Amino acid sequence: MSVNVTRRRVVATTERKERSFMLLRTSILSAMALATGLLTAAPAAAQDTPDPDAVVATVNGTDITLGHMIALRSSLPQQYNQLPPEVLFDGLLEQLVQQTLLMQSFEGDLSRQSELLIENERRAVVAGEAITRVMGTEPDSEAVQAAYDEKYGNAEEETEYKAAHILVETEDEAKALIEELEGGADFAALAQENSIGPSASNGGDLGWFGAGTMVEPFFNAVAELETGEVSDPLETQFGWHVITLNETRIKEQPALDDVRAELEEQLRQAAFEEHVKKLEADGDVSRADTSGIDPSAINDMTLLED
């Protein structure tokens, strides 16, 4: 089959993923129109404790519950957060009714691709439940303290630098600026007038930074300067720099409470990775020899045609 046909198949797959949201958008527009006409109506009394098993619609004998609506709502993109709850409620309900009608009207066998997508969707949803259970346990305070001590307790002191630079296109421009500075010119003023870098408006000020923040040649040049000293012209992939070092300081280690959330997440992630390793070690997993499969086959939707 031709490349153009394959591309059309890829587009068709993407379009199928959009159709659910197309139904929802249509339903929401209808709900908004209805809500606009009922703005003066008295609101219906809400239940104190809504029951997720409460039936909100029945379509040819198939019940749709509040739980179905809540589950569908949880899968929506953030853009739907701006909608009023009553509009979103009516839109979701209408979508589920329409989807049920369409599902019931379908005759024959599902395509192979649809069957596989359903398998993958169940696999992903159940795996998500498992992940939530594994990572849902909060690490105890002793584990968090141990992680903090390991990461920060014996960390070597790190020097941070506060520097400014003037970025120009040529070495000659950089040399000319150094001559002006040696003659008493103000560094910030020269940066504002001559620098082509984004820090020009701040007089070339780069703020505080440590190792790994700047490209290596630039950082090394800064680290070799004395406070108040101006560098020789330095070339990087961005152009030519004239650098001055304003201050240095020893970086303070963060307090435990400031990094607690970060450490807890790292511990949860480590627990999850260990859990997966154990599952595979205890399980019977056999990976076939895929060397004979062209990796580009995953892009060929025509392979799933009946």
Condensed to tens digits (0 to 9), the pLDDT of residues 101-111 reads: 999 999 999 99
The least confident of 16-20, 169-173, 177-181 is: 16-20
Average pLDDT over residues 263-288: 94
- What pLDDT is recorded for position 2? 40
Are the C-beta atoms of residues 251 and 166 closer than 8 Å to each other? no
Is the pLDDT at 36 greater than 70? The verdict is no
What is the per-residue pLDDT for 306?
64
The domains of the chain are located at 1-37+51-104, 156-250
Average pLDDT of the residues in 207-223: 96
Rounded CA gap, 102 and 60, in Å? 12
Read off the pLDDT of each residue in 88-109 and give the average, rounded to a whole number: 94
For the chain, the average pLDDT equals 87
Residue 42 has pLDDT above 50, yes or no: no
Q: Which residue has the higher pLDDT, 171 or 22?
A: 171
% of the chain exceeding 90 in pLDDT: 72
Read off the pLDDT band of 40 (50, 70, 90): very low
pLDDT of residue 158: 87
Tokens of 234: 């330095």
Q: Which residues contact 31 (CB under 8 A, 6 or more apart)?
A: 86, 87, 88, 89, 90, 91, 94
Helix (H, G, I), strand (E, B) or coil at 208: strand
Confirm or reject CATH 3.10.50.40 for domain 156-250, answering yes or no: yes
Q: Where are the beta strands (DSSP E) in the chain?
A: 55-59, 62-65, 159-168, 205-209, 234-236, 239-250
Note the pLDDT of residue 75. 87
Is a pLDDT exceeding 50 seen at residue 39? no
What dihedral angle (degrees, nearest 10) is formed by the CA atoms of 127, 129, 134, 140?
150
Q: Write down the pLDDT at residue 152.
A: 86
Arithmetic mean of pLDDT, 47-56: 87
* pLDDT tens-digit readout, 104-153: 999 999 999 999 999 999 999 999 999 999 988 889 999 999 999 988 88
Higher-pLDDT residue of 231, 21: 231
Paired tokens of 235: 């070339």
Q: Can you tell me the distance from the alpha carbon of 203 to that of 190, in angstroms, rounded to the nearest whole number?
A: 8
pLDDT at 13: 46
pLDDT at 7: 44
The pLDDT assigned to 15 comes to 56
What pLDDT is attached to residue 151? 87
